[in-house]
Amino acid sequence: MIFPRFIMQKALCDVLDFYYMGEVEPIGQRETTINDNRGNELPIVNFRLKLETPVKDELYSYFTND
């Protein structure tokens, strides 16, 4: 199953820019939990996604460097 698009925002950034990253295919998943701001445990699913087209080097550097 191919998803039509994947949009990413740089974490811990004050700017609200979003970037179109391309189509993705889910290649794995795992069920886990996170805690909400009250300490309650919430079930979630983490997905591992494969981009159909590699990300350009300069955009990858932007997301992975502080």
Q: Over the stretch 20-42, which tens digit does the pLDDT of each residue have?
A: 788 888 899 999 999 999 999 99
Which of the 8 DSSP states describes residue 2? Answer: -
Q: Are strands 41-51 and 3-8 parallel, antiparallel or unpaired?
A: unpaired
Alpha-carbon gap, residue 7 to 32, rounded angstroms: 23
Q: What is the pLDDT of residue 56?
A: 86
Alpha-carbon gap, residue 62 to 60, rounded angstroms: 5
**Amino acid occupying residue 8:** M
Alpha helices in the chain (DSSP H): 57-64
Enter the pTM of the model. Answer: 0.59
